[in-house]
Structure formats: C-alpha cells, structure tokens
Amino acid sequence: MTEKYIYSFHKGDGKNKVLLGGKGANLCEMTQIGLNVPPGFVITTKACLDYLESHLLPDGLMDDAKDHIAEVEAISGKKFGNSRNPLLVSVRSGSAISMPGMMDTILNLGLNAQTLTGLIKQTGDARFAYDAYRRFIQLFGKIALGINDEKFDLHFVSIKKQAGIKSDMGLNADHLRQISELFLQVVLEETGKPFPEDVFEQLELSIKAVFNSWMGKRALDYRREFHITPQMANGTAVSVVAMVFGNMGNDCATGVGFTRNPGTGVNEMYGEYLVNAQGEDVVAGIRTPKPVHELLHEMPHLYKQLVDLRNKLEAHYKEVQDYEYTIECGILYCLQTRNAKMNAMAMVRTSVEMVAEGLISKEKALLRINPELLEQLLHPQLDPEHSEHPVAQGLPASPGAAFGKCVFDADTAELMGRAGEPVILLREETKPEDIHGFFAAQGILTSRGGKTSHAAVVARGMGKACIAGAEAIKIDVRARQANVGDLHIREGDIITIDGSTGLIYLGKIPTIEPSFSEELKTLLAWADEFAEMEVHANVDTPERARMAASYGATGIGLCRTERMFNASDRLPLVIDMILADNKEVRQEALEKLFPIQRDDFKQLFEAMSPYPVTVRLLDPPMHEFLPSEHQLEDEIKSLNLYKVMIHGQQVTLDTLGAHIALPEPFTLLNEEVINKVIAKKELMLKKVKELYEVNPMLGHRGVRLGMSYPEIYQMQIRSILEAAALCAKQQIPILPEIMVPQVITVQELIKVKSYVDHIKEEVEHQYGIRLEFKFGTMIETVRACTRASELAGVAEFFSFGTNDLTQATFSFSREDAENKFLPLYNETGLLEDNPFEVLDAKGVGQLMKMTAEAGHKTRPDIKIGICGEQGGHPQSIRFCHHIKLDYVSCSAPRIPIARLAVAHAKLLENDYRIS
Ligand code: ADP
Ligand code: MG
Ligand code: MG
C-alpha cells in the first residue's frame, strides 16, 4: 500500500481537514496538545473517494486498521473482541465542512455474545451492558445493514408496553436482554444472516456504511442546499474512537458545551449535561438536560476540569468552540470540538472581546465574520418567542419584520400612514407611482415579481420589509381583499410579514428593534482602518442620508432624482411638465418644480456634509410618471357617468321647478369642473398612448430625455448648483457630483456639460462665489464601456450602473430572467449565480475592468465606483477591489456589510481568484 490511508490521533495533521475531516483533524489536534481524548485513529477522505469509485476498500486498508486497533488496545489496556476486557469503539463520520446529523455514527461496536458477557462481568452491571448491546444492534442494523428503524422500534415499544413502563430509564436488565434478543432476530429475518459476531467484520461493514453515507440522499440534499462544492469538502473521513461511557453510574455524565454563549457572545460557561447518560441522549431529547452551572454543585471537581478544558480549547483554537464531552467514572474525556456557529450579535461581541483579551488580532476579528451575517443586526426581527403559524410564503425580498393593517393601494396607505396607523401595502406588483405608499407603509407584499422586482428594489433601498412573488395570495384590489385559499384578508385586517424568510402571518407578532451596538461600532472602525475602497450609500432623502451616515457611509453614490418627483406634492407638477405640448408650458411647470428640487438637494447635501453626493439626472422613461392606459380609461368612464348624473340632477331640479339649494360639494363638482377633469384625463391618455414604447427600458430614457427636453436637465442642474451655492453661503462643506445616466457617446456628455458650464457661470455670478463640484457619467451601456477613454476626457468620474449593464451584457431583462429561466440556469449550473445579485465577474466584470483601465489612462485621477445593487454584495465587492475601484455604493442597510466586506477584500486580496 503506497498511499497512507490511516493516521492515529497521535500522528494525524490537525490542520488537514480536507484529508481527515473536521472531526478527525480536531481529534488529532486535541490529542497532540495533551487534552484527554480516548485513543483512536482516522481513515482518510481519500480512502472514502477510492471506495466510492471502485466499491472496494483500498487494498490492505483493513490490515492497516488492525494495526491501528492494536495501538488503541495498547493504550487502553483493553482488547477488541476479547471476552474478559473488551474494547468497544465508535465509528464516526466527518467531512471537511461540518454537516450536522447528515451522516452516520455507530456506537458500541465490538459487542457480540462473548464480549457482552465479558462486559457484564467486568462492570458488574448487566443493565448497562444490555443497554449498550441493544443500541449497537439497532444502530448497526440500521446503518450498516440497511434495516428499517421501525422494525426495531416495534419490539422496543411492545416490551415497554408489556412491562407497563413509560420511560426508557424504567427498563431493567432483563427487559433490555429480551429486547436485544428480539433485535438479533430482526437482523436474521431481515438479512437472512445472523448478526455478525466477528468484530473486524463489524468494523469493516461500518466503515463501508459511513463511506456510503457520503452519497446518501440526506447528505446530497444538504450539500446542494448549502452550496457545498467538492472543493470545499470531498468525501467523509471515518474516525474510530475507543468508547467511553457516560452511563455507567452517577459519577458518569455526558454533555455539550460552547466556550462562550452563542446567543449573546458573553464570555461564560455555556452548555448542558446529563448524569448517567450517553452522548446521543442529550441531542435526542429523551431526557431534559441540566444547565452546566449545576455541575458545579453536582461534581465540583469535574466542573473545574471542564472549565480548564474550555480554557485550553479557546487558547489553542483562538476561536469560540462547540464541544462534546463524556465523564466516565470521574474522568473527563473530550470527544469533539469545532468552531461554534453563532448569531451576528455573538460573533461581533466575541470578535471585539477576543481582541481585547489578546487572543486574536484585529485582522482575524474581522475575517472570522461573514459580512452577510451583519444583515441580522440592522432590521427589526420577529420576536423569537412567537409561536404563530404562517399562512403563506413568498420570496424574502427585503429583510426585516413588520406588522400593520392591510391596504391595497398607495393612496390609502398614505392616508392611513398619516393617521399614524401601521400599514402593509399589498399589490400584485408595484410601479414607480406607488412610491408614496412605500413611504407610508411598514412593509410591502406583492403576489408577483422576483427578488429584483420594483417592489423588492425600492423596499431594500428604503430598508423596509418586503415579500415579493407570494403567488398563493390572490389580490383583488376592487374588492379590497386578498385571498389565500378559503381565507379572506380584508382591508384593515392586521398581518405580519417577515422579509427575511418570506413568511406571512395573520395578526400581529411583536418585533424587536435593531440596535447598532458599541461592539459593532468598534468592529467596523477596525474595518475602516484596513479598507481601501470607500463605502457610499444609494439614498434619495435626507432622513435616509442621515441614517446612512450613522451607519458609516462616507458619501452618497447614487441619488435617484425621480424618487423626488414621485412624492405626492410634486407628481401633479411633473405630470403638467410631461403633458406640456410646447416649451413655454413645460418651462412653467419646471419653474414650479425648481425650488422644490433645490431644497431637496440642499437638505441632502447638508445631511451628507462634508462627503460627496452624486446626483443622477432624470433617468426613467416619462410614462412611468403617468397612470397606466387601462387606469385612465377606467377613470374617464367613471367621470362620464358622473357627468350624466350631474346632468340628470339638473334636469330633476328644473323639472320640479323648485329652487332647492344643493349642499356645497354638489355645486363645487359641477359640470364645468367635470369637463375640465375629463379633458385633462383625456390629454393624459393621449400622452400615454404617444409615449408608448415596445421596450421602455431600451427606449426614450436617461440622457436621451436630456437631449430631447434640455429644459428638464437644465432645471435639475440649476437646482443642484444653487443648492450647492446656498450651502457654500452658509459655510457648509459639501461636494456635489452631477451624474448623467445611460450615456452611449461622448457627444451626449459634451452636450450636457455645456448646459452645466453655462448654468455654473450664471449661478456663480448670481451668488458671487465659486462652485466646487464634479461632472461624470454612469457606465451602464456596453457602448459606454467601449468608449471609456473618450468619455473620460469629459467625465471626472465613472459610476458603474451594474443593474442595467448586466441586462445589457446578458441581453435579457431582469424581470423575465428571474421569473422564467434564471432559476433553471442556476439549478442546472448553466450559470453559477444570479448576475443581478452577484456581480458577474467573468463577463460584466471584464467590461468593467477594461473600462476602468481606459478611464485611468485618459484621466489618471478619475474617480470610479459602482452603484448597482451588487455594490453591497461581499463577493462582488472583492472583485471591485481587485479592479481597483475607489468606492462601492449600496443601500443604507447594507452599509455595515459593505464596510466589513471592503476590509475583507483588502485583507484577502492576495488570494483573490475569479472563480
Ligand atoms: P455527530 O456528528 O452526529 O455529532 P458523533 O460522531 O459526534 O456524531 O457521535 C454521536 C454521539 O455519540 C455524540 O454525542 C458523541 O459524543 C457520542 N460518541 C461518539 N463517539 C463516542 C465514544 N467513543 N465514546 C462515547 N461517546 C461517543
Ligand atoms: Mg458530534
Ligand atoms: Mg440604470
């Protein structure tokens, strides 16, 4: 045998988890640092892979195993298969990545008719021996021989019943002997062969069974669910460990512990134990375990040893550990350790405290936390104590939990929101004109659309809970009702949504507010020390800007001005502007909008002072500000009916000849007024039809609007520059940036720049000051990428709009892709990730790299960032660092994640590979 397949715990490399599995490697490591681990050895994952390929154990493997058993015999003083002093072992699985409960472990192996008698004599405890025996037969029967568990359980239950006993603890030696005999019978019946008496045959069959469990359905499903690739874990190792017994009397126990509290991070003894029990009893919940503090009173001496074990584990691993131990007749053995899984709060707290204790460096403190985990800390969570059952589930589109009264349109949401009611806005899908409803609502629920639907993107931007695509819910806006099967949810009914899980509940479930703890502040301040890229925010309002600043944003990377247009006090003005059929009328509407926009910008600049604020000029196609054709036709129909009614009323009054004075509302809404309204609606309808585009997202939008209607862009530019001037007058340090969307050619930029230059001169003259600002472009068309060197001649900054750029590169739209074929592409591996969530480094990323290089060549000090949704995604952030961007910009709630991720990107830059 050339390949070494087996390592004793004294020899195996504790760092090599890929070869020895996490459990095996740590058993080696613990043995070698002098912790009390029962003797044993590890069979490698390589042996597993070879076995799975050929269906044969590698040549000589069992001989080698025999030699290693001999070693264990020498250390333990017991003998495998010996009837006087039998050695029993456990055969345990374990791969490089822990997959709790997904693969199998066999305990008490080595028992047969002879060793059983030996064990009874040796321990003087027949009950204990038979208990071990029946457990072994069942586990071995199930795992190694493939016998259905129920066959055994049936007998177990019937013996219990016959004896009139409720709990397993009540069974005596004789009951357990009967059970063992029945179990042996089951094996004979089910396999046609007697239970294997030869202990090495038992060992061989068990090793094979553990190897096979790697390809078992449970394990396969688990690996798929958690994206565990063969690079991360390939095959399971087998650890063979001398058994120790926690169930040999009252000086025995078994327990599990964490070196710190995994719920809060507090540095304290944490865990549970059971006296006179075996390891699996704690997990299986057969008896209720006691908190570890009670061990202090029950076995003070061993409690001290346990504290010592915990301290040694942490001092060595320099990480919070999750460990298993067993006390056999007053001696403490450690059976397993691994890095603990903790919630975000505990991860942050332990990071900060372990640095203070000198246990780990700041780098390690940052790197041990997955940035995505921080998401938990920034949104309200459902009270974990709640016990409600969900009525439906949609896509978790924007995290956080919220409850409120159901409303079915944005106007009602706004009305009720103003009245101080918590509301949840339910729509089939949302449109930009629903924006005021978003502001008013606690949460948004749609029955259609994916995780990047309008509702999802806007809700995430605002940090509001959102569930999208809850298809089981049928929304009937006219009836003001939503139906889930036979269940009706009416307007005003309270529901709770959890945007982190997509679950929807009836009634109110209390939520817990997020908190930005001192520890999190400390941790992120360390992240800033290492980071090279800055983190900016995608926000549109002063409140959100202040929030982003408090989360540590050092700028606004994207302010979408259309969000301001959609607010309900401006939308009528915007509509007038769109309806205008000549420049003068349009100018009039724009003049009314101008001071409003200027004040918006001034507040935004102030909120982000002294950091840069990038304002994008108007981007969406105009029709987005108008109601849909369908809605207008409906409204016109109603108006005409109303007109007939008014007319009828007049006729009635005239006929009666009576001079009845109508109440004011009737006279206010007279025929003349209605005619005016109808005329306006008809004009809107006509405009909507005119503006109709086959492909609005590829149509008349972005800078193309600025070319067709210069006065709109000019009004916005003037608002920005006057706001800047007003701030300058008040000595508020600010840094505005004007950004042009959808650019394809440098001529467009030159044109907009000419508006800017002209207005700048006027404003500077008017206010008697000099303005400091930057002019730049979004890069979101493929052509812009190919023309980057020319664009950089005019633009002082580039900002990658990777939402549109991704659509343009893939030539498919996000909505259609996500709703139709992208899931298939991801599941079958045609595409690794959803490129709208994870930046496509291989495709879109290459365009970005080329663009950034060309930009730098033309203008060495050009500032380059990303403002697409992927800008808040850790893996995408690593790519942005790799191509040396200056900043990433993301929605406010993702800022802490991004701050940690930019530090990771720097600290891990040397081993970055485009996967
Ligand atoms: P899992 O990966 O499911 O935790 P383990 O291999 O850790 O499976 O074993 C299952 C249970 O059996 C655990 O409680 C463990 O502590 C216990 N156990 C495993 N090996 C031994 C042993 N040699 N002596 C005593 N208990 C053991
Ligand atoms: Mg375990
Ligand atoms: Mg865009």
**pLDDT one-digit tens code per residue, 867-893:** 998 999 999 999 999 999 999 999 998
Q: What is the mean pLDDT of residues 432-438?
A: 83
- Please check the confidence at residue 244 and state whether its pLDDT lies above 80: yes
- Please check the confidence at residue 700 and state whether its pLDDT lies above 90: yes
Question: Which SS3 state, helix, strand or coil, does residue 64 take?
Answer: helix
Phi, psi (rounded to 5 degrees) for 768? 65, 35
- Residue closest by Cα to atom 8 of ligand 1: 105
What one-character DSSP code corresponds to residue 380? Answer: -
Cβ–ligand 1 contact at 107 (below 6 Å): yes
Distance between CA atoms of 495 and 858, rounded to whole angstroms? 56
Percent of the chain with pLDDT over 90: 74
CA of 307 to the centre of ligand 1 (A): 21
The more confidently predicted of residues 285 and 49 is 49
Nearest ligand to residue 99 Cα: 1
Res. 475 pLDDT band, cuts 50 70 90: very high
**What are the CA-CA distances from residue 354 to residues 15, 306, 896 (Å)?**
22, 20, 20
pLDDT at site 319 = 97
Lowest mean pLDDT among 50-64, 639-653, 873-887, 899-913: 639-653
Catalytic residue, from 175, 454, 873, 881: name it.
454
Cβ–ligand 1 contact at 412 (below 6 Å): no
pLDDT at site 605 = 97
**Per DSSP, what are the bridge partners of residue 736?**
613
Cβ–ligand 1 contact at 101 (below 6 Å): yes
- Residue closest by Cα to atom 1 of ligand 1: 101
pLDDT at site 39 = 98
CA of 869 to the centre of ligand 3 (A): 11
Q: What is the mean pLDDT of residues 278-284?
A: 71
Count each helix (H run) and each strand (E run) in the chain, helices first: 36, 33
**Nearest atom (ligand 1) to Cα of 93:** 6
Cβ–ligand 1 contact at 236 (below 6 Å): no
Cβ–ligand 1 contact at 243 (below 6 Å): yes
**To test ligand 1's pocket by mutation, which of 107, 241, 323 has the most ligand atoms within 8 angstroms of CB?**
107
Q: Is 454 a catalytic residue?
A: yes
Q: Summarize pLDDT for 711-753 with one digit per residue, the tens.
A: 999 999 999 999 999 999 999 999 999 999 999 999 999 999 9
Q: What is the mean pLDDT of residues 416-428?
A: 92
Distance between CA atoms of 404 and 415, rounded to whole angstroms? 14
CA of 256 to the centre of ligand 2 (A): 9
Q: Summarize pLDDT for 521-540 with one digit per residue, the tens.
A: 999 999 999 999 999 999 99
Query: How does 396-417 read in b/e, with b if 16+ C-beta sit within 10 Å?
Result: bbbbbbbbbbbbbbbebbbebb
Give the amino acid at 170: G
Report the sign of the C-alpha dihedral through residues 292, 295, 300, 304, in that order. negative
Give the amino acid at 242: A
Cβ–ligand 1 contact at 38 (below 6 Å): yes
CA of 298 to the centre of ligand 2 (A): 24
Question: Which SS3 state, helix, strand or coil, does residue 370 take?
Answer: coil
Per-residue 3-state assignment (H helix, E strand, C coil) for 80-143: ECCCCCEECEEEEEECCCCCCCCCCCEEEECCCHHHHHHHHHHHCCHHHHHHHHHHHHHHHHHH
Q: What is the mean pLDDT of residues 824-838?
A: 90
Q: What is the mean pLDDT of residues 329-348?
A: 92
Q: What is the mean pLDDT of residues 654-679?
A: 83
What one-character DSSP code corresponds to residue 645? Answer: H
**Nearest atom (ligand 1) to Cα of 246:** 25
The closest alpha carbon to 38, from 338, 332, 339, 312, belongs to 332
Q: Is 623 a catalytic residue?
A: no
The closest alpha carbon to 211, from 219, 222, 223, belongs to 219
CA of 126 to the centre of ligand 2 (A): 27
What one-character DSSP code corresponds to residue 3? Answer: S
**Nearest atom (ligand 1) to Cα of 282:** 14
What's the pTM value of the predicted model, to 2 decimals?
A: 0.82
Q: Summarize pLDDT for 158-212 with one digit per residue, the tens.
A: 999 998 888 777 889 999 999 999 999 999 999 999 999 999 999 999 999 999 9
First to last CA, the chain: 36
Cβ–ligand 1 contact at 475 (below 6 Å): no
Q: Summarize pLDDT for 551-561 with one digit per residue, the tens.
A: 999 999 999 99
pLDDT at site 369 = 96
Contacts of 405 (CB under 8 A, 6+ apart): 416, 421, 422, 423, 424, 491, 492, 493, 494
The more confidently predicted of residues 362 and 288 is 362
- Please check the confidence at residue 901 and state whether its pLDDT lies above 90: yes
Percent of the chain with pLDDT over 70: 99
Kindly report the average pLDDT of the chain as a whole number.
Answer: 92
Cβ–ligand 1 contact at 324 (below 6 Å): yes
Per-residue 3-state assignment (H helix, E strand, C coil) for 799-850: EECHHHHHHHHHCCCHHHHHHHHHHHHHHCCCCCCCCCCCCCCCCHHHHHHH
**To test ligand 1's pocket by mutation, which of 43, 72, 99, 105 has the most ligand atoms within 8 angstroms of CB?**
105
Lowest mean pLDDT among 443-457, 569-583, 713-727: 443-457
**What are the CA-CA distances from residue 650 to residues 641, 658, 661 (Å)?**
14, 11, 12
Res. 379 pLDDT band, cuts 50 70 90: confident
Q: Summarize pLDDT for 101-151 with one digit per residue, the tens.
A: 677 889 999 999 999 999 999 889 999 999 999 999 999 999 999 999 899
Q: What is the mean pLDDT of residues 775-791?
A: 98
Cβ–ligand 1 contact at 105 (below 6 Å): yes
Q: Residue 404 corresponds to which tokens in the numbers above?
A: 């409120």
- Residue closest by Cα to atom 24 of ligand 1: 243
- Please check the confidence at residue 611 and state whether its pLDDT lies above 60: yes
pLDDT at site 348 = 95
**To test ligand 1's pocket by mutation, which of 336, 337, 338 has the most ligand atoms within 8 angstroms of CB?**
336
Res. 670 pLDDT band, cuts 50 70 90: confident
Q: Residue 59 corresponds to which tokens in the numbers above?
A: 């040549």
pLDDT at site 285 = 55
Q: Residue 710 corresponds to which tokens in the numbers above?
A: 């210069």
Distance between CA atoms of 106 and 136, rounded to whole angstroms? 7
pLDDT at site 127 = 93
Question: Which SS3 state, helix, strand or coil, does residue 578 take?
Answer: helix
CA of 542 to the centre of ligand 1 (A): 56
- Please check the confidence at residue 283 and state whether its pLDDT lies above 70: no
Cβ–ligand 1 contact at 280 (below 6 Å): yes
CA atoms within 13 A on the CB side of 833: 17
Q: 542-550 vs 583-608: helix axis angle to the nearest 10?
A: 30
**Per DSSP, what are the bridge partners of residue 86?**
79
Res. 452 pLDDT band, cuts 50 70 90: low
Catalytic residue, from 867, 881, 890, 904: name it.
867
Nearest ligand to residue 334 Cα: 1
pLDDT at site 887 = 98
Distance between CA atoms of 754 and 749, rounded to whole angstroms? 8
CA of 344 to the centre of ligand 3 (A): 33
- Residue closest by Cα to atom 14 of ligand 1: 279
